Structure 1
Amino acid sequence: MTVELIDEERYDRIMQDTVLPDLALCRHEGWMTSQSASGKGGILVGEADRDRYGSDELLHYVCYDRGEFQDRTSEPCQARCRGAVVISFGFTEFADKYQELTWYFLMEGYSVCILEHWGHGFSGRGVSDPNLVWVDHWQRYVADLAAFCSQVGRSYAGDRPLVLYAHSMGGGVGARLLERFPVMIDKAILSSPMIVPRTGLMPAVAWGAANGACLMGWSRRMAPGFGPFNPEINMDNYPGGSRARVTWARRQRRDQVRFQTSAATFGWVRESLELSRAVLRPSQCGQVESPLLVFQAQHDRFVLPSPQERFVAQVRDGGCQAELVKIPDSMHELYQMPNAVLGPYLDRIFAFLDEPCQLDEED
């Protein structure tokens, strides 16, 4: 890896003085309609036309153009544009949480495009409580991400590879995207993917309880085990994590109410488990064609490890290249680990991306 990692001892200063100004040079924001029950969605909406839509119809996204970054930054970076990375983030996350990772991708030659999933960030939510995440159907996530990749992501990639980087919930959504649209993505990285979430109960039991609550009209109510946003940090919840990185992300959440989602609804729990069922069908795993790199965190409090292993094995059985990398002494958010872990993690990602793919071979 040629990118120099941010010094954790000077993390805030480097983010404020270098990373954020660099990102501002090439940052673009936009809006897209979400997938509706009638099957309509994926329409890109200009700023002047936003008032024609209800706030719950629109999805917010942020993109960073590699060409503009190269022309304007003083930082040494790759001489050529290598494609685009679409980031599919996790439960209760938001686009700006990925500023540091975006900077590394830009330095390595990739434009970056981040869709704020339904229920997250500045996108539509369907609930008024800023703590809650609700979704009517998991297929909305997949359809929205597919429309974003095919229109926005591909426009930034051009004739270069389009890469998916997907974390946690976004990894479960990304896995289903790879099954449903096998030729859309050229390479995929799933980091701590939510193939099956941890619920404290057997998945079938958890689904039954959540479905029963939804049938009683409680789909938009907070599920047990969750609570409102807490601005304080308990590092015991981030085993092995970088205090500098965790603190930076928490400060972002404290400063912006739209970033303070913290709790699943019964509807979200039911749909996350429905998504898991769909992803793990062997016939669907066999549809994946994109070379796949999957990371598993040892101390993961949010997703189950064995379904990740099962998913990778079934993708391999279908004839697709898939590798599972286990990261010892690591927490769920691998991109927020200290430099000693983050460096090898990024090295493995960029080595994977450096391997030839079909588009490169056609140049």
Structure 2
Amino acid sequence: MPNNRQFTTEQQLTERLANEIALFWQQGHFNHFHGENGVDIHYGYFTQQQTRPNLIIVPGRCEAYLKYKELCYDLFQQGFNIFILDHRGQGLSGRMLDNWQKGYVDDFQNYVLDLDNFIENIVKIQSPQDNYILAHSMGGAIATRYLQYRADSIKAAVLASPMLGFNVGKVPEKLAENLINQAEKLNQWLGAKPWYFLGHKNFIATPFKDNLLSHSQVRYQSYLDLYQQEKHLQLGGVTVKWLVESVKAQELIFQQLAAITTPVLVLQASKDIIIKNQAQDEFCQQLNQINADSCPDGKAMVIDGAYHELFFEIDSYRNLALNHTLDWIEKHQ
């Protein structure tokens, strides 16, 4: 693995955000388009002066592209054009409910169609070069469904902590699924507005000591500061409808694995309790049997000790994830 790549360190982050990264961000292009059902989808991009490949970043649930300034900067320095969007219902993009804090989507496929619109009508128009995807968590599920929808659009993809299954702890999966389905029926019978799922509520800032996303205090605090300063970026828990649609999407991912012809690498955080790592293992094992170019040896690339948000982790974990990502893309250039 190359060791001469330079990435922002935790020690450098605060100063860089105020200086180099701030200057870099001023060079970006920011706009929006009308996604499925007229929902505004906001995006940003940064292009090199020379002809360079495109790296499309697909964030996870709750995330705004403004959270990704450090990652966009670091990957731009590695010679990519960077494209990133905010999914419907979060970030700067349009919210669909009166309570805009609720995590909601009426059809998971709308995420996929928004991404397709972005790639076909923004990315390919602005830079008709080779396209690569780097997707995180929910973005990993969206990107996987997109690869099943557009088989020949992306040269290679990296899925970091992809949401291929939910971690329901000790609750049997069938019981959890039945609970979700019963909650959906109750919601339909008793109320016109989508309900939060049990225990979910509006945005609450979790202190660093209690968080299960990252071991990096400086990166985690940077995220908290952003969401306190820009309160319109905040998003609460998930609705019953979002869960129902996400479970359907996960089932379709496994049912349609043969449609994925793009080489896929899965990065797995070994200490991730947000999503189900076993689902990633099953995905890699099955996909590698169908497409030997994906998931080398039928396994995910494990970042031992890391929490869910690999690109917002401490330097040692983050640098591993970045180097694995860049190695994968270079292998497929």
Contact 2:89 2:100 in 1 (8 A): no
Which residue of structure 1 aligns with residue 303 of structure 2? 327
| Residues 210 and 343 of structure 1: CA distance in aligned 2, closer, same or farther (over 3 Å) | same
Q: 1:337 aligns with which of 288, 303, 313?
A: 313
Q: Moved runs in structure 1, 4+ residues, more than 6 A?
A: none
* Superposed displacement of residue 298, structure 1: 0.8
* Superposed displacement of residue 198, structure 1: 2.3
Between the aligned partners of 1:240 and 1:232, the Cα distance in structure 2 is 12
Which residue of structure 1 aligns with residue 70 of structure 2? 100
Between the aligned partners of 1:296 and 1:356, the Cα distance in structure 2 is 20
Between the aligned partners of 2:270 and 2:53, the Cα distance in structure 1 is 31
* Superposed displacement of residue 344, structure 1: 2.1
Are positions 1:154 and 2:124 aligned together?
yes
User: Deviations along 1:208-232, whole A, 9 cap, x unmatched?
Assistant: 3223333333562111132322235
Q: In structure 2, what residue type is equivalent to 1:211?
A: N
* SS of residue paired to 1:264: coil
Q: In structure 1, what residue type is equivalent to 2:328?
A: F
Which residue of structure 1 aligns with residue 34 of structure 2? 33
* SS of residue paired to 2:244: helix
Contact 1:83 1:156 in 2 (8 A): no
Which residue of structure 2 aligns with residue 46 of structure 1? none
Which residue of structure 1 aligns with residue 328 of structure 2? 352
Contact 1:130 1:258 in 2 (8 A): no
User: Deviations along 1:9-30, whole A, 9 cap, x unmatched?
Assistant: 24211211111211212x1112
Q: 2:209 aligns with which of 203, 216, 235?
A: 235
Q: 1:170 aligns with which of 139, 144, 152?
A: 139
Contact 1:81 1:110 in 2 (8 A): no
Contact 1:203 1:273 in 2 (8 A): no
Give the percent of matched residue pairs that are identical in Structure 1 and Structure 2.
23
Which residue of structure 2 aligns with residue 253 of structure 1? 227
Q: Which moved more, 1:270-279 or 1:254-263?
A: 254-263
Describe how 1:69-108 pairs up with structure 2 within 5 A. Answer: 80-108=50-78
Q: In structure 2, what residue type is equivalent to 1:249?
A: Y
* Superposed displacement of residue 85, structure 1: 1.2
Between the aligned partners of 1:33 and 1:321, the Cα distance in structure 2 is 35
Describe how 1:206-355 pairs up with structure 2 within 5 A. Answer: 206-216=176-186, 217=188, 220-238=194-212, 241-281=215-255, 284-323=256-295, 324-355=300-331
* SS of residue paired to 1:229: coil
* Superposed displacement of residue 156, structure 1: 3.7
Aligned length: 322
Q: CA RMSD in A?
A: 1.9
Contact 1:238 1:331 in 2 (8 A): yes
Gaps of 5+ in 2: none
Which residue of structure 2 aligns with residue 47 of structure 1? none
* Superposed displacement of residue 240, structure 1: 5.7
| Residues 203 and 117 of structure 1: CA distance in aligned 2, closer, same or farther (over 3 Å) | farther
Between the aligned partners of 1:191 and 1:320, the Cα distance in structure 2 is 19
Between the aligned partners of 1:294 and 1:261, the Cα distance in structure 2 is 26
Describe how 1:113-192 pairs up with structure 2 within 5 A. Answer: 113-158=83-128, 160-192=129-161
The TM-score with structure 1 as length reference comes to: 0.83
Q: In structure 2, what residue type is equivalent to 1:307?
A: A
| Residues 139 and 96 of structure 1: CA distance in aligned 2, closer, same or farther (over 3 Å) | same
* Superposed displacement of residue 193, structure 1: 0.1
Contact 2:214 2:308 in 1 (8 A): no
Q: In structure 2, what residue type is equivalent to 1:21?
A: L
Q: 1:61 aligns with which of 19, 39, 43?
A: 43
| Residues 156 and 292 of structure 1: CA distance in aligned 2, closer, same or farther (over 3 Å) | farther
Between the aligned partners of 1:209 and 1:134, the Cα distance in structure 2 is 18
Contact 1:207 1:269 in 2 (8 A): no
* SS of residue paired to 1:188: strand
Contact 2:303 2:320 in 1 (8 A): no
* SS of residue paired to 2:305: strand
* SS of residue paired to 2:146: helix
Gaps of 5+ in 1: 37-55, 68-79, 358-363
User: Deviations along 1:288-328, whole A, 9 cap, x unmatched?
Assistant: 11111110111112110111111112221222411220111
Contact 1:164 1:189 in 2 (8 A): yes
Q: In structure 1, what residue type is equivalent to 2:43?
A: Y
Between the aligned partners of 1:234 and 1:8, the Cα distance in structure 2 is 15
Between the aligned partners of 1:144 and 1:181, the Cα distance in structure 2 is 13
* Superposed displacement of residue 150, structure 1: 1.8
Which residue of structure 2 aligns with residue 197 of structure 1? 166
Between the aligned partners of 1:144 and 1:251, the Cα distance in structure 2 is 28
| Residues 144 and 239 of structure 1: CA distance in aligned 2, closer, same or farther (over 3 Å) | closer
Between the aligned partners of 1:92 and 1:315, the Cα distance in structure 2 is 28
Q: In structure 1, what residue type is equivalent to 2:250?
A: S
